[in-house]
Structure 1
């Protein structure tokens, strides 16, 4: 679903079924995606790429995740497109003298700085998508596959929205060149049949970047979106279940969290496939 507000396309999706290698799987719980795209700014900054296949202005999409290790709650994934002049290696300082000048790997920043950057990334990014993959899906497919699924969906939804609106504006989508930069040592397997339908399958270069959130500005931007959006869900859970101290441990297996599980039991949002939760359920 798309909503247009001024020059921004608001993106909202709820995924209940997913096609994996030609087979549809009913998800144990819906995956929610949200975000926005400034199509006019995309055209203004990457018009050479789209109109003339100028490889010097390849569209770079950074993708990162947050929350693989906790026992509780969702794993969140985000994709982000920064302005062309801001997208590049962090060591090259493309963000110097910009509102995102302190942006780097979210794990290297204080929570206060992450919270400050979160709305700035949303405001200045040309586009972003955030996916919330719930605990039930993590238990259904395992945490690695849930993370890969989130990365895949954030990428495909971004490319789909871009391709749809380029076609709608009579732009040649076949000239779009995009690099998708995934934090980590592997890339998700995209639905290439869908990319063929969009007309961009040969123009998408997927790359795995180890410690990419500390190396590339677009991945760092995605890391902020993923981390802070997940923290927001943790604070919401903390308000519902204050006795678990979720605001402090964010679902990670701290001593206080394990003691809360022993005292109060397992919540619906706990990941039942994770060993400490599975053991607690047996007891």
Structure 2
């Protein structure tokens, strides 16, 4: 053991697929403080990975129970953008294969921007089918945000290229010909809904950045249409843009100052 440098030990721990138990025991007995620091760092990483694996298994429980009942094409449905003052509400419907494996997946709001982008690419590549529905600000004002979110979900469902045989939906009930279950906080409880949450959120963020190129004064590229202090100040100064939701109070109050 003494003939290995601390850097070599670190490479062996973090780059090898599975560290040998005997090797770990030898490290524990090594008198070098640097070795103990590396080992402690590795043990924390192992603990974190185990927690993610357990959380992932927990999040597949709904899907596993449904597959045991004979359902195979299980679609998770979620939306992004009910709360913002501007931009569309975007929904996604996602069907994942039974062997889908992505420990760390979670409600998109609990993930960093970098993780959302990373997981978006994995889901996009591995999903059996993905559908997206988008309802703009004008229609949101016409039918209200809840109905717009539901319509976006139904549109996303209609865009699936594979017919689902069961739906797992985040929080709301939809009128469809398919058996379904609405799960409160479903995006943190079901891997399929979490995948839909990520697809919807990343898609909407990209749309808001595009809209932000046309209406730079509101800072949409950073606030995504939410009512930040800077956004509210811009509303007060410039009035509402065509992509603002005029039925939402802060926007409604700004009308007439365009």
Same fold (TM over 0.5): yes
Q: Counting strand residues as a fraction of each chain, which structure ranks higher?
A: 1
Give the conservation status (yes or no) of the 8 Å contact 1:149–1:188: no
Gaps of 5+ in 2: 1-66
Give the corresponding residue for 1:120. 122
What SS does structure 2 have at the residue aligned with 1:207? strand
Among 238, 255, 258, the alignment partner of 1:281 is 255
**Computing the radius of gyration over CA atoms, which structure comes out larger, 1 or 2?**
2
Could you report, residue by residue, the CA deviation over 1:181-200 in whole angstroms, capped at 9, with x for unpaired residues?
1101x31223xxxxxxxxxx
- The aligned runs of 1:20-169 (5 Å cut-off) are 55-86=69-100, 95=101, 100-158=102-160, 161-162=161-162
Size of the aligned set, in residue pairs, is 191
Give the conservation status (yes or no) of the 8 Å contact 2:132–2:157: no
The TM-score with structure 1 as length reference comes to 0.64
Gaps of 5+ in 1: 1-52, 87-94, 164-176, 191-200
Alpha-carbon distance between aligned partners in 1 of 2:119 and 2:228, rounded to the nearest angstrom: 27
Among 170, 187, 208, the alignment partner of 1:183 is 170
Q: 1:260 to 1:118 in 2, by over 3 A?
A: same
Alpha-carbon distance between aligned partners in 2 of 1:255 and 1:263, rounded to the nearest angstrom: 12
Alpha-carbon distance between aligned partners in 2 of 1:281 and 1:265, rounded to the nearest angstrom: 6
Which structure is richer in relative contact order (CA contacts within 8 A, separation 6 or more)? 1
Runs (4+) off by over 4 Å? none
Alpha-carbon distance between aligned partners in 2 of 1:156 and 1:234, rounded to the nearest angstrom: 23
Q: 1:59 to 1:263 in 2, by over 3 A?
A: same
